[in-house]
Amino acid sequence: MKIRSITLDNVRRFTDPVTVGPIADGITLLCQPNESGKSTLFDALHAFFFVKYSAWRAEIAALQPHSGGKIAVALTLEVDGQEWRVRKQWQRGSGGEIRAWQGGTLRHQGDDAEHWLTDLVRGDGSGPSGLLWVRQGRVTLSVDGKYGGQDAKGEEHEQRRNLLTMITGAMDDLTGGKTMDGALDSCLGELAQLQTSTGRPKAGGAWAEAQALVDDLQAREARLAAQADELHDALTERRRLGTQLRDLEDPDTRARDTQDLNTAEAALKDAERHASQVAQAATEAALARQTHSAALAEAKAAEQRRKERRDAQGLAAQTETAAKAALDKLTEATTAWETASAALRAAEQDEKTARDHVQRVARRDAAQAAVAQRQKMSEVLTKAEAAETRAAKALAEAGRGPEQAVVDRIEALQRKLETARAVREAAGPKLTVQYHDGAPLLALDGTPMPDGMVHAVTGRSRIDIPGIGTLTISPAQDGAADPVKQAEMALSQALDAAGWPDLDKMRQAALARADALRMAQLAQQELRTLAPEGLQALRNDLARLPVIDDGDDTPLPDAETTEAAAHAAAQALSLAREVETESRSRRDAAKDLSTETRAHASAAAARLDRARQAAGDLPDQHDDTERQRIEALRLSAEEAEARHRALADGAPNLSAATARLNRIRAVIQQRADAIQTARLRLAELRAIIDTRAEEGVEEALQDTRLRLEAARERLDRVSFEVEVLRRLAAALQGAQTAARDRYYAPIAAELRPLLEELWDDAELVWSDDTLLPSGMIRKGETEPIDTLSGGTQEQIALLVRLAFARLLAKAGRHAPLILDDALVYSDDDRIEHLFNALHGAAQDLQIIVLSCRQRAFRALGAPQVDFLPAQIETP
């Protein structure tokens, strides 16, 4: 597309029609003073190409003059050698219109004309048109205004992506463009429904719900298991405590304890008297030993100095030999490591090639697998419809039972009542009757009392005594404050409030409700998993499924072969790494050993010098006189020790006597404490056993474990789905990165001669995120774009747009490059170099330059146009 003329009618200051043209190929210059309408022309052109005729937005309202009225812009265009006349007008309300004529024939109007113009500017729905505009004062590569209803960031992002698609020619395959964006967005969307940005289960998602169900059942299983263990432990402990209590209360045992206590106290007094005599003999023996030890130590010190001298001589010779051997091992280990390093580099290259083949085969197989997607989605739709039906039915059934919280609260009241009864029975008074021969039986509250039987008195009771009268027993506690009656009343009131006659029926209804809710939840989770956006959206997706053609005819082996080759290469690489690591470790160990042995040799030589100095002129053996003196001291010490041993051998063991007395006293006290503790614990155990036995803990535990197993299987399936989505997203992003890499090559090739026009040694650094230059390399140093001077940023921005325009032209897409005072920061020398670059690029492009710098732009050497009066006429 090329622009041949531009006509404005009722646009800002141009309340009367004006025309700019004719505009030829190459460079065309519109050079006018400030306030003459150049920016108005630029804004009108931008609105013509990027704002729909029926849209009345701020940028359109800004074009309207104070007098109001319709805003009209008409362009004469050359498209594929044919002349077109296009007129677009805007009016507040519904008065906007657009028409396009070819020759004298009206070809398009209304929305059809708008779509035709959009396709013309953006090609196949893409097109980098925004990148080929340079607005007044905009000296960087970023877009900082709002155009076409998109903010700057959104428009620039779309234009960068569109430019990438056009240059790589991959708009409709899975290496970039809309299909890649759609596939990646869909994958990330599904993943976002399951996990958070940090990779954790997302609240409300299927993964989080499956995990929550498993956690809930695990907690219930742990609680029930603890209760079952508590019941079993209570039964075992009750049997053990019964046996223990009988042993503790045995009368013979108590009599033996008293006798042992008296004997131990007498033995302790005898031991204390003898201990004083032993201590005196010990002092005398210690003094004799000390005298003998001092003489012996002096002799040993001399002998030690002689021995150190002999040992140091042998060690010095030994360490010198070891140091030489270690140096030989170091040389051998270094050679082996260098060989292993070369083998590792070769294995790394082979493994990289094998991984590349695996990725290519995976992309080919993914395209082939797309054929089965329609069948799979149909099956998913059928399953989703069935899940919706099951969920509705289960929710209806779930409304008939009490909530688990109410059941738990009433069960707690039941346990409190049973515990109060057990405590009252264990702590209350007890009656036992021993009858004389022929005595009549007594009756407790009308029940006969057999001989020797223990009867617990838990409340106000009456004993009938034949021939005497009635004996009444009243508890000390007021009946109104009786914990048992209070617990009974609280339980009855809670059951009445919940609307259930007894706890058993309430438990059964709660279990049925929980099962129904679980079934409804599973069905809803399955429905959300199968149709996250609803059944109708799933049906629409099925209807929109395209037929995917991979389009890659490169002959490649099957996935199994490439995977096997990659696996073999990975194993070879792993083996090479192990060999290299082992050889490096051996080399390092040999180096450390060599250093260590040399240090040992030096230390041994120093030790020999010290030993010689310490020994001096000592002879190899000491004389006989010293031996005889030491022997005499030894005999004296032995005699003192013999006297001490004679006393000590016959001495009673004071510590043992003290310990025995303390032990016997502790045993007697512990037996009394144990009897009291056992009696109280038995009462508690009876309450626990009665409560847990009635709750049916073991049956509930088995049911919970079955439900937990099913919930874990569900969690495993959802976790597997998350892992698959993560890997798919990584693969798609990798393919997108590869497309970006192919993007840089043609741009860099076009920019190289343009950059050389201004800088001999400059090179641009490209950003993977923005697809635009992020820095500039000069003299080996990288400078970020935003730290460069305004003039340098301006020049780079212009050169990049020239490169884009040349690429479009080579692809058969001629897009005019429009500059609105874009060189305001360039000095006189640089601006002439830029003029040279513009002329060089203008051989294949149409460049329209708007400027107010009349003197500076004389050197541009381009034909000029002006604002001329015109009439808005249709062909």
Mean pLDDT, range 434-445, rounded to an integer: 87
Residue 98 pLDDT: 92
Closest CA to 865 of 30, 97, 1, 254: 30
Is 418 contained in some domain?
A: yes
pLDDT(108) > 90: yes
The amino acid at residue 293 is S
d(CA 210, CA 200): 13
744 and 781, same domain (yes or no): no
pLDDT digits 0-9 by tens, 177-216: 556 667 778 888 888 888 888 888 888 888 888 888 889 8
The helix (H) or strand (E) run that includes residue 661 is helix 654-695
Q: Could you tell me if 407 and 508 are in contact, meaning their C-beta atoms sit under 8 angstroms apart?
A: no
* DSSP assignment string, 753-786: HHHHHH-TTEEEEE-TTTSSEEEEEETTEEEEGG
Closest CA to 518 of 295, 254, 220: 220
Buried b (16+ CB within 10 A) or exposed e, 91-115: beeeebbbbbbeeeeeebbeeebbe
Residue 129 pLDDT: 44
pLDDT(150) > 80: no
The amino acid at residue 79 is V
Q: Look at phi and psi of residue 81 and say left if phi exceeds 0, alpha if psi is from -120 to 50, else beta.
A: left
777 and 731, same domain (yes or no): no
Instruction: List residues bridging with 444 in a β-sheet.
Output: 447, 463
Sign of CA dihedral 747, 748, 753, 759: positive
Q: Could you tell me if 125 and 96 are in contact, meaning their C-beta atoms sit under 8 angstroms apart?
A: no
Cis peptide before 22 (omega within 30 of 0): yes
Going by their DSSP bridges, the two strands 461-465 and 469-473 should be labelled as antiparallel
Sheet holding 443-444, edge to edge: 447-448, 443-444, 461-465, 469-473
Domain count for the chain: 3
Is 848 contained in some domain?
A: yes
Mean pLDDT, range 609-637, rounded to an integer: 75
Is 134 contained in some domain?
A: yes
Q: Could you tell me if 464 and 443 are in contact, meaning their C-beta atoms sit under 8 angstroms apart?
A: yes
The amino acid at residue 583 is S
| 268 half-sphere exposure, CB direction, 13 A CA radius | 16
Of the listed ranges 303-317, 473-487, 661-675, 793-807, the least confidently predicted one is: 473-487
pLDDT(160) > 70: no
Task: Please state the pTM of the whole predicted model.
Answer: 0.39
165 and 210, same domain (yes or no): no
Mean pLDDT, range 524-535, rounded to an integer: 80
28 and 105, same domain (yes or no): yes
167 and 25, same domain (yes or no): yes
- CA–CA distances in Å: residue 359 to residues 105, 366, 732: 53, 11, 11
Instruction: List residues bridging with 28 in a β-sheet.
Output: 848
Dihedral over alpha carbons 598, 604, 605, 610 (to 10 degrees): 150
799 and 836, same domain (yes or no): yes
d(CA 99, CA 76): 12
| 572 half-sphere exposure, CB direction, 13 A CA radius | 17
Buried b (16+ CB within 10 A) or exposed e, 459-491: eebebbeeeeeeeeeeeeeeeeebebeebeebb
Query: Which of the pair, 346 or 739, is modelled with greater confidence?
Result: 346
**Cβ contacts of 530 within 8 Å, gap of 6 or more:** 380, 381, 383, 384, 387, 538
- pLDDT-derived band at 299, boundaries 50, 70, 90: confident
Tokens standing for residue 164: 């990438």
Among residues 759, 787, 811, which one ends one of the domains?
759
Q: Could you tell me if 545 and 377 are in contact, meaning their C-beta atoms sit under 8 angstroms apart?
A: yes
Mean pLDDT, range 828-850, rounded to an integer: 76
Q: Could you tell me if 736 and 184 are in contact, meaning their C-beta atoms sit under 8 angstroms apart?
A: yes
d(CA 88, CA 790): 36
- CA–CA distances in Å: residue 92 to residues 69, 84, 146, 147: 9, 27, 20, 18
Among residues 468, 499, 530, which one ends one of the domains?
499
Mean pLDDT, range 149-157, rounded to an integer: 39
785 and 744, same domain (yes or no): no
Tokens standing for residue 687: 């309450």
Burial class (CB in 10 A: 0-12, 13-18, 19+), 556: middle
Of the listed ranges 9-18, 293-302, 363-372, 412-421, the least confidently predicted one is: 363-372
d(CA 830, CA 171): 38
d(CA 825, CA 792): 8
Q: Could you tell me if 32 and 867 are in contact, meaning their C-beta atoms sit under 8 angstroms apart?
A: yes
d(CA 522, CA 210): 9
857 and 752, same domain (yes or no): no
665 and 802, same domain (yes or no): no
- CA–CA distances in Å: residue 867 to residues 4, 29, 71, 687, 850: 14, 12, 17, 105, 12
Distance, CA of 539 to chain centre? 34
d(CA 765, CA 743): 13
Is 427 contained in some domain?
A: yes
Q: For the chain, give me the number of helices (H) and strands (E)?
A: 18, 22
Q: How many residues does the chain have?
A: 875
Residue 107 pLDDT: 92
Eight-class DSSP state of 481: G
Residue 690 pLDDT: 76
User: In CATH, what number is assigned to the domain containing residue 144?
Assistant: 3.40.50.300
d(CA 79, CA 85): 11
Is 821 contained in some domain?
A: yes
Sign of CA dihedral 346, 352, 353, 358: positive
152 and 14, same domain (yes or no): yes
51 and 152, same domain (yes or no): yes
pLDDT digits 0-9 by tens, 707-728: 888 888 888 988 888 888 888 8
Sign of CA dihedral 658, 661, 664, 667: negative
Tokens standing for residue 725: 């989505």
Closest CA to 267 of 653, 664, 646: 653
86 and 226, same domain (yes or no): no
d(CA 383, CA 549): 28
Q: What share of the chain is helix, strand, coil (3-state, %, to 5)?
A: 65, 10, 25
Among residues 469, 499, 529, which one ends one of the domains?
499
Q: Could you tell me if 53 and 96 are in contact, meaning their C-beta atoms sit under 8 angstroms apart?
A: yes
Mean pLDDT, range 658-685, rounded to an integer: 84
Is 206 contained in some domain?
A: yes
Is 183 contained in some domain?
A: no
Q: Could you tell me if 141 and 135 are in contact, meaning their C-beta atoms sit under 8 angstroms apart?
A: no
pLDDT(318) > 70: yes
d(CA 709, CA 702): 11
Q: Could you tell me if 580 and 337 are in contact, meaning their C-beta atoms sit under 8 angstroms apart?
A: yes
Mean pLDDT, range 463-475, rounded to an integer: 86
d(CA 121, CA 145): 20
Burial class (CB in 10 A: 0-12, 13-18, 19+), 834: buried
Residue 554 pLDDT: 66
Mean pLDDT, range 594-599, rounded to an integer: 86
Of the listed ranges 177-181, 214-218, 639-643, 795-799, the least confidently predicted one is: 177-181
pLDDT digits 0-9 by tens, 405-421: 888 888 888 888 888 87
Is 513 contained in some domain?
A: no
Closest CA to 220 of 614, 545, 627, 701: 701
d(CA 663, CA 685): 31
pLDDT(444) > 60: yes
d(CA 36, CA 20): 13
- pLDDT-derived band at 7, boundaries 50, 70, 90: very high
Q: What is the 3-state secondary structure (H, E, C) of 490-542?
A: HHHHHHHHHCCCCHHHHHHHHHHHHHHHHHHHHHHHHHHHHCCCCHHHHHHHH
Q: Which structural domain, as residue segments, surrounds residue 848?
A: 10-173+772-869
Residue 151 pLDDT: 40
**Cβ contacts of 261 within 8 Å, gap of 6 or more:** 661, 664, 665, 668
